[in-house]
Structure 1
Amino acid sequence: MSTTATPPAIAEDPALADLVAQVRAAQADRQPLQICGGGSKAFYGETPRPDLRPLDVRGLRGISRHEPTELVVTVRAGTSLAELEATLAAHGQWLPFEPPHYGVDPRQGTVGGMVAAGLAGPARATAGGVRDYVLGASVLNGRGQLLSFGGQVMKNVAGYDIARLLPGSLGVLGVICEVSLKVLPMPPASCTLRFELDELASLKRLQRWGTQPLPVSASAWWNGMLVVRLAGAVAAVEAARAQFGGEEVDAPLARDFWQGLRDQRDEFFINAQQAIAVGATLWRLSVPQSAPAAELPGEHLIEWGGAQRWCVTTAPATKVREIAQRLRGHATAFRGQREPGVFAPLPGPQAEIQRRLKAEFDPDGLFNPGRLYPDL
Structure 2
Amino acid sequence: MPLLYLDCQYGIAGDMALSALIDAGADINYVISHLNGLPVDPFVLGVSTVNQHGIQAKTLQLFFPLADTGPTPLSAPGRHLHHRRASAILAMIESSSLPLRVKQRATAVFSALARAEGKIHGIPPDEVHFHEVGAMDSIIDIIGVCLALESLDIDRIIASPVAVGGGKKQMAHGCYPIPAPATAELLLGIPLADFPVEGELTTPTGAAFINALVHEFRALPAVTLSAIGYGAGKKRFSHPNILRVMVCESAESRPERETVVTLQCEMDDISGENLGYVMERLFEQQALDVYYTPVYMKKNRPGTLVTVLCRPEDSAMLEEILLLETSTFGVRQTRHSRLILQRRIEYVTTPYGDIAVKIGFRGQRVYHTAPEYEQVRLAAKNHRVPFDLVWGTVRQSANADWAAACLKTSQVVTDSATKI
What TM-score comes out, normalization by structure 2 length? 0.24
Greater helix share, structure number: 2
Greater strand share, structure number: 2
Larger Rg: 2
